[in-house]
Amino acid sequence: MIALQKKATLFKKIREFFDAQGLTEVQTPSLLNTPTTDVYIDSIAVVTNKEIGQKTHKYLHTSPELEMKKLLSQGSGDIYQICQVFRDNEIGERNFNEFTLLEYYRLDFDIYQLMSDISALLRHLGIHDEVVKMSYAQAFNQFGKIDILNTDFESLKRIALTHDLNIDFEWIEDLQMLLFVHLVEPCLKDLPVCFIYDYPSEQSALARVDGKIAHRFELYLSGVEVGNGYDELQSAKSYQQVFARENAKRQQINKPSFELDLEFLACLEKPLPKCSGVAIGIERLASQLFAT
Amino acid sequence: MANYSTSQFKNGMKLMLDGNPCSIVNNEIVKPGKGQAFNRVKFKDLITGKSLIKTFKSGESLESADVMELDMQYLYNDGSVWNFMDTESFEQHAIDDSSMDDARGYLVEQDMCTVVLWNNNPISVTPPIHVMLEVVDTDPGLKGDSAGTGGKPATMNTGVVVQVPLFIGIGEVIKVDTRTNEYAGRS
């Protein structure tokens, strides 16, 4: 089967899986008024309507997350979307300026239920390998002998030095990530399907925080990060806090900071229902799925 | 020497790492979904031959290593140093016994070898893939066992021990694969 057909079959099977469970496929705008505030994700800016005297700055979406959450807050119920997304400053063997995301949300699911649901999706797609689930702390303990949830920034720097790693970081989460990439990820290569869950609160992103832990997970297929999911924040206030914090961090490392997405925050006057959601990179999934 | 940043890294590039010249075997860009980009790089230390993995913040840079690979002819060994000649410049290089590693078991006078120079000093020698060596000691072969049941050890004129078929006797010249130390046929 040629690659084009394989990819088409993959899309068909994904839709089959979600349609059978009654999710609604949605399409949200990819040309947005506000760029992402995510510290390490850059939106691609475009200028529209210049020739007709109505010059407007727009941004290609880096993920359909916020637009889909607007739908969720308006009562859409379980939804999924498959779309192209765009990110600036990403080039590599597995990083591109444009790629395909599958993003879906399940109402009343926590991350454990969502991880089980993704495992079922992977089986439906033909991945029958054993599914390993490991907390972030377990993974660090097993592969790096580090008690990651109870190690402060200074102590972590000392540990990084023993591994000959750069310790020039502004925030502990960046050093946690470096150590994860250096010590843990290479060990995940031997595991065909692995979920890492319950991240340190410093890496909460848009996930619900419970003490030292953020209810967030990532899906790794043979050591390659393929998906990222959250037990989603619900209130406008909690999102506003995250956006403001990310903007402050962007300023600290001399990256442009942006106006908060007021449209989104206004929409969340009606808070998000309790739900969990995940974004899965389709090309990375396909390359693992069709690897010989 | 020039500095190279992670965005310029490519396989085979020779860089200085902790004071030793190293060669890039593999360079992987890893960008966590919610984090900054890193380069996870596999190096081979050109002096010790060991491989090691380092992870850098993307944008970090390393100093390049002044490393050259030259084809040279092996001349002779005077007991403490091994002498080679660059067949183009006719320049002669003496390589310390300690830098020879496994190569010393496969050097036949006048064979062409690859010599790696760092700051103009030789740091390693790679013999040709196949060399012809003479068997100087081995047990007599057993008649009627020519099907080969794993063979027997034989000591070569260079000192290296190679597993050979049972029919090979003392005084025979055999072809040896220097990458695997395996018997590769008779002359």
CA dist., res. B49 & res. B184, Å (int): 25
| ipTM of the complex as predicted | 0.88
For B35, which of A40, A90, A186 is closest by C-beta distance? A40
For A177, which of B18, B29, B32 is closest by C-beta distance? B32
Residues in chain A with CB shorter than 8 Å from the CB of B60 are 166
**Mean pLDDT for the stretch of residues B36-59:** 93
pLDDT tens for each residue of B100-152: 878 889 999 999 999 999 998 888 899 999 999 999 999 886 655 555 567 89
| Contact between B33 and A90 using a beta-carbon 8 Å cutoff | no
Q: What is the pLDDT of residue A269?
A: 93
Tokens of residue B155, six digits: 């000591």
Residues in chain A with CB shorter than 8 Å from the CB of B50 are none
For B54, which of A93, A94, A164 is closest by C-beta distance? A164
| Contact between B57 and A168 using a beta-carbon 8 Å cutoff | yes
Report whether B42 contacts B11 (CB < 8 A).
Answer: no
DSSP letters spanning A69-129: HHHHHTT--SEEEEEEEE-BT--SSS--SEEEEEEEEEET--HHHHHHHHHHHHHHHT--S
**Which chain A residue's Cα is nearest to B40?**
A182
Q: What is the pLDDT of residue B104?
A: 87
| Contact between B32 and A173 using a beta-carbon 8 Å cutoff | no
Please name the residues in contact with A145: beta carbons below 8 A apart, sequence gap of 6 or more. Answer: none
Write out residues 105-124 of B within 8 Å (CB-CB) of A. Answer: none
Instruction: With cut-offs at 50, 70 and 90, classify the pLDDT of residue B97.
Output: confident
**Which chain A residue's Cα is nearest to B38?**
A178
* pLDDT per residue of chain A (292 residues) written in tens, 0 to 9: 788 999 999 999 999 999 999 999 999 999 999 999 999 999 999 999 999 999 999 999 999 999 999 999 999 999 999 999 999 999 888 999 999 999 999 999 999 999 999 999 999 999 999 999 999 999 999 999 999 999 999 999 999 999 999 999 999 999 999 999 999 999 999 999 999 999 999 999 999 999 999 999 999 999 999 999 999 999 999 999 999 999 999 999 999 988 889 999 999 999 999 999 999 999 999 999 998 6
The Cα diameter of chain A in Å comes to 61
- CA proximity to A182, closest of B42, B64, B23: B42
Write out residues 99-158 of A within 8 Å (CB-CB) of B. Answer: none
CA dist., res. A244 & res. A238, Å (int): 10
CA dist., res. A78 & res. A274, Å (int): 11
Spans of all domains in chain A: 2-30+61-130+192-289
- CA proximity to A279, closest of A39, A41, A65: A65
Write out residues 27-86 of B within 8 Å (CB-CB) of A. Answer: 28-38, 40, 53-57, 60
**Which chain B residue's Cα is nearest to A174?**
B35
Q: Is B88 helix (H, G, I), strand (E, B) or coil?
A: coil
Residue type, B178: T
Residues in chain B with CB shorter than 8 Å from the CB of A278 are none
Query: CATH number of the domain at A2-30+61-130+192-289, out of 3.40.630.30, 3.30.930.10, 1.10.760.10, 3.40.50.720?
Result: 3.30.930.10
Counted residue by residue, chain B has a size of 187
Query: Which residue, among A182, A221, A226, A284, would best test binding to B if mutated, counting the most B CBs under 10 Å from its CB?
Result: A182
CA dist., res. A167 & res. A155, Å (int): 11
Query: What are the angstrom distances between the C-alpha of A228 and each of A219, A280, B105, B140?
Result: 6, 7, 54, 66
The count of CB pairs under 8 A between chains A and B is 60
Please name the residues in contact with A83: beta carbons below 8 A apart, sequence gap of 6 or more. Answer: A27, A28, A30, A61, A64, A100, A101, A103
CA dist., res. A216 & res. A277, Å (int): 10
Determine contact: A218 vs chain B, CB below 8 A: yes
β-pairing, B182-186 vs A24-25, is unpaired
Determine contact: A174 vs chain B, CB below 8 A: yes
For A92, which of B31, B55, B56 is closest by C-beta distance? B31
| Contact between A38 and B34 using a beta-carbon 8 Å cutoff | yes
For B30, which of A173, A181, A279 is closest by C-beta distance? A181
Query: Which residue, among B31, B39, B58, would best test binding to A if mutated, counting the most A CBs under 10 Å from its CB?
Result: B31
User: Which carries the bigger pLDDT value, residue B93 or residue A199?
Assistant: A199
